[in-house]
Amino acid sequence: MKYTEEIFNILSKGGFISANSVSPAIKRYYDAIEEDLTDYYEYYKGIGFYLEGGDGYYMFTRQEAKVDLERKLEAVMKWIDYLSFLKTYDATFGPGFKFRPADIEVQISCQMELKDKASKLFQDKKKYNEVVEKLVSELEKAGMIELENEHDNTYKVLTAFHYMEDLVDCITISEEMNDEISQ
């Protein structure tokens, strides 16, 4: 097994290793995991991390205490807001999609719904360019996007974005709970 330390350094911080990464190193890590998935799984399991694969990406999961679950639920709510904002910007926003932050800023000034969502994303950011900058930073830090072209500031959405979409898709609110929320 190669790259165990490099893979651990990315995944242990909540990052992803995506098949469609623009980074040659990340592609090598993905291919290495694909080749020896069982060995990598057993290796990381020994230190309490579970290597999980999704639709074109890998990530770590861990057994969590109840206290940690509350923190994770708060994080999920944040990602739901991000996804809602991005899908409002462009319904096709997903793996393989390319965008420039400047284009998102322009759309915020043109669409009332996007403007409303932008104002709620980061309470400490008042200007739209700051909101977009912070969102891009969060997505990049999580391994959901990568800078593809630094000359025109174009980003590529990675396959790890499926994780966020799948996470939101699996959330269902029962009719009882929906009634309670409405009251």
Arithmetic mean of pLDDT, 147-170: 89
Strands (E), the chain: 17-18, 50-53, 57-61, 98-99, 145-149, 154-157
Q: Choose between 145 and 124: higher pLDDT.
A: 145
Q: Are 107 and 89 in contact (CB under 8 A)?
A: yes
SS3 50: strand
Arithmetic mean of pLDDT, 64-90: 81
Burial class (CB in 10 A: 0-12, 13-18, 19+), 171: exposed
Strands (E), 42-121: 50-53, 57-61, 98-99
Does the pLDDT value for residue 3 go beyond 70? yes
Confidence of residue 69 (pLDDT cuts 50, 70, 90): low
Arithmetic mean of pLDDT, 17-22: 93
Phi-psi category of residue 17: left, alpha or beta, with phi > 0 → left and psi -120 to 50 → alpha: beta
For residue 113, give every residue at least 6 positions away whose Cβ sits within 8 Å of its Cβ, in sequence order, or none: 88
